[in-house]
Amino acid sequence: MLKLIPQPRKIDYKSRKKIPLNHIALGENQLSPQAQEDFLDFCHMPGGEPNIIFVTDNSLGEEEYVLETNEKIVIKASGAPGQLYALQTLKQMIFQCEGCLPQVEIEDGPEYKIRGFMLDSGRYFFPVSDVKKIIDRMALHKLNLLHLHLTEDQGWRVEIDKYPLLTQVGSMRKKTNFNHTPHGGFYTKKDIKEIVEYAHAFCIKVMPEFDIPGHSRAAIACYHELTCFPRDLPVADHWGVKHDVLCVGKESTMKFVYDVLDAFFEMFPDEYIHIGGDEVPKHRWDLCPHCQAKRRELGLKDSDALQFWFMNQVKDYCKAHGRQAFMWSWELEDASAIDTDLGFTKCGEMETGDRPFIDTSTDAYYIDLPYGYISLKDSAEHKVYSGNCLGVEGTLWTEYVPNMKKADRMSFPRIGCISETGWHGTCGWKSFSKKLDYYYSFLDKNGIGYALPDMANPKFPRNKLSVLWFERRQLAWEGLTNIMEDKKIEKIAKKAKE
Ligand code: ACM
Ligand code: ZN
């Protein structure tokens, strides 16, 4: 019996016959040169007469394929995505069948349209070479959306011509949480083009994230007037939710936001864009004359309503440019103020009506969190939230993920579960655990790191220790800084009023 991740829709074993495989050569197809090379590199077999034959079948959906093994291997698909996914399945068959394939017919296609991976390149910068490795890992798992979190309190990671300081100043943090060395980096426009082209070669779309109006301290460090009470604020160098956010009461802020979006639209051609919206403390807005004037002008009841107005405005701008916008559902108490065409990356079971969403459950798919919080079993057992679900996404925040080694250890084997749920519709520990040994060997074969079983499903006290280690983030320290800054701003605001 074949073990495959993600599980295909249907496998038919046609006979007990084993089909010897001595060479590999691809017939005419619609795949990119990179995808073909990737497959041939993996197989590492002699070439010759084409023995993998591609048949165009327009009755199949864009990502569906039929794979038949016989004297030749026949792949039916309507285009490149189906062909690519057939080859990814075939890689796993070749790997476990050692020179002989079983005679099968596999009919396959995804349950969900979106299967994503989010990389937070804001906290730690991941160079293009790492992003390409992540794209390789995604392709192997039939994922099709790379969500790049590009703007953060701790770093601005993408070149914007109109605002050169964003990268000159905003891309560098003086230190990281517990490591007193500066850290930084950014993608040039050429880098972004390279990333987007590489992703497209593997049928992966790129959704950039411009996280606003919160998480904007790197931008504010460059252009102080973007915040309500302008002063010399550096790029954040420590974890935590920051109280200085964009001032949405000023026209100049809106111009900045639209200018940056224009630059994003130019660099990122795919239809999706993420506009953040998470973790926006309202302390500054409540005291800001600009924000309060705007709130009164719009007849809104409070600063929360002002944020929803802002998110809807930004969504409208994206929509006018042909883009589907998403925002985080994080801390959302009432989604009714959000227009129904603004999608969510949905972190919990909150009520979001019929708005479209991508399931990014904090209990299952926040793959940066220690396995003591989210075990592999939790990721496997997660049932997607009901409603207008477009798909699933593994979410790798990087405050404690400084490099690919750690990224792999946090992501795998959990991505196996996310891939299986996104592609097959369900995963489940019972069936996934049976494939786990095979999966580890397949990850090894691909040079991908992972957490071993005792780490991925930690027992007491290991689970508690992993959480404690993570919690060394010193929230108390961060909280104290915020309280002191809040007092300072309250004084300034009071003085201005007098
Ligand atoms: C989030 O977890 N801040 C979206
Ligand atoms: Zn303001």
Please give the Cα distance from 456 to 439 (Å, whole number): 14
Neighbouring residues of 458: CB distance < 8 A, sequence distance ≥ 6: 371, 372, 375, 466
List pLDDT tens digits, range 288-342.
999 999 999 999 999 999 999 999 999 999 999 999 999 999 878 889 999 999 9
User: For atom 3 of ligand 1, which residue has the closest CA?
Assistant: 278
**478 CA to centre of ligand 1 in angstroms:** 17
pLDDT at 476 over 70: no
**287 CA to centre of ligand 2 in angstroms:** 8
pLDDT at 474 over 90: no
Minimal CA–CA distance to 147: which of 236, 102, 210, 197?
210
Q: Determine the residue type at 128.
A: V
pLDDT at 399 over 70: yes
- Mean per-residue pLDDT for 127-143? 98
- Mean per-residue pLDDT for 441-466? 96
User: To test the ligand 1 pocket, which listed residue (396, 397, 400, 473) has its Cβ within 8 A of the most ligand atoms?
Assistant: 397
Outline where DSSP puts E strands in 383-463. 389-396
Stated length of the chain: 498
Q: Transcribe 182-200 into DSSP letters.
A: -EE--B-HHHHHHHHHHHH
Atom of ligand 1 nearest to the CA of 395: 2
- Using a 10 angstrom Cβ sphere, with 0-12 exposed, 13-18 middle and 19 or more buried, the burial of residue 154 is buried
330 Cβ below 6 A of ligand 1: yes
pLDDT at 473: 63
List pLDDT tens digits, range 218-247.
999 999 999 999 999 999 998 889 999 999
Please give the Cα distance from 382 to 378 (Å, whole number): 6
Q: Are 353 and 340 in contact (CB under 8 A)?
A: yes
Structure tokens at 418: 């996310």
Please give the Cα distance from 423 to 7 (Å, whole number): 8
**360 CA to centre of ligand 1 in angstroms:** 10
Structure tokens at 306: 């002002």
279 Cβ below 6 A of ligand 1: yes
Atom of ligand 1 nearest to the CA of 362: 2
Q: Determine the residue type at 406.
A: K
Q: What predicted TM-score, i.e. pTM, was given to this entire model?
A: 0.98
- Mean per-residue pLDDT for 448-472? 92
List pLDDT tens digits, range 1-60.
999 999 999 999 999 999 999 999 999 999 999 999 999 999 999 999 999 999 999 999
- Mean per-residue pLDDT for 270-277? 98
Ligand lying closest to the C-alpha of residue 293: 2
**397 CA to centre of ligand 1 in angstroms:** 8
Q: Are 454 and 371 in contact (CB under 8 A)?
A: no
